[in-house]
Structure 1
Amino acid sequence: MAEKVNKQMYPSAPTNKQPSRDEESATSLSDQELRKKKRIKLGIYIAAFVVFQVLVITAFSLTVMRVKTPKVRLGTVLLQDVKTGNQTSPSFDISFTTQVRIKNTNFGPFKYESTNATFTYQGVTVGQVSIPKGKVGFRSTKKVTVTVTVNSNALPISTTSTTLGSEMGAEVLTLNSHAKLGGKVELMFVTKKKKAAEMNCTMPIDLSTKAVQLNCD
């Protein structure tokens, strides 16, 4: 009787149950699925990183590494000395000051060679001024102040007697100016591209008010 009570009070310890083959197979499949999901996530991250890098490189190429042609223009023209004839005896001898403005919008300096800015009347050169070689910093504008003298001495008689005579009568003298600055744009201290900045301006001069309406392209 005592033995039966002891057996009821102290039950035997449970034996260790070994996992079945089905359970092992299920665990193995679960591990494979986890590894597969990790590989898929890693592939997605890599693809996203590659696409991001391509977008960054493309944007960099289209902005920073894109070489644009610098622009050169004339600034405000201030007349200093104006001598003109009349409709019967047309002539002019004018001096003025202005600025040659060289604008560089690139992410690198623009180095240009010396050149001349020419001023013409009806296709004939009536004056010119030298622009010394120089350098324009990245995304900046350089201003070169010049003094110019133009006169009608080189004009043929046919031009002075017809076109110039008419403009003297209307008191509006129209000049044109042109300049071409050849040089190189340097990007990131590596890439150098040849560029030429060109200027074409029309300068109608009101002889009565001594004002200049400048138009450049």
Structure 2
Amino acid sequence: MDSRFHLGKYSILTPDSLYQVDIGSVDFMDRNLVLKDIYYRPVDGIYGLLRKLPYQTEAVTARIDAVRLMELDPLSYLESNSIKAMDLTVEGPEIDLFRDKRHPFDSAAIRPMPQHLLENAGINADLISLRVRDGRVRYFEFAEKGMMPGMVSFHRLNMDMAPFYLRTKSQEYPLDQLRIGLEAYIMDTSKVNLDAVMYFEEKYPMDVSVRMEGFYFGEVNDFF
């Protein structure tokens, strides 16, 4: 199947209308799909979103240089609504998470484990690998009696996961365990490596190993 297409700038809202996604361009050629200049943000801004919601949550803002889905099988998607490809690479993601603990805490809220999210993704996808390159994640938090938010950040973030599968709730997950490797620099200073094995069984256990090359507490004083 030889096809190609290009889409220029366009925007969409998430189903709950709380977030807007802007995409600079979408290109498909030679079975490779590339999305560039992605911007994900609350429609009403961070504080506007948090004021709308009754309980604490993370407001998310993200910019991504490019998402590359290589050797995509378009027939698989058209025939079975399943994404099959060789490699998914996320380049230059910059993600900000903001939580305001001055808002009420929802004691009934349950944060799902990563395995649960992969098993209940809403789509089916089979990828040989998932890679994140040169990312940055910042977490901002307003303490319950704080005057200013604290912040901790992870720079030069690289992550690898292979293979990578997503499944809808009705489909059986094809793995009993999945490995993930991650490297980042806390506050762009202290190097940290994380290796984890996620098990797809009751209670979703994980084996996690973390290695650090020194840690500079002064860099995160405002967060702690």
> Where is the strand percentage greater, Structure 1 or Structure 2?
2
> Where is the helix percentage greater, Structure 1 or Structure 2?
1
Q: Same fold (TM over 0.5)?
A: no
Which TM-score band (shorter chain)?
Answer: under 0.3
Could you state the TM-score of these two structures normalised by the residue count of structure 1?
Answer: 0.23
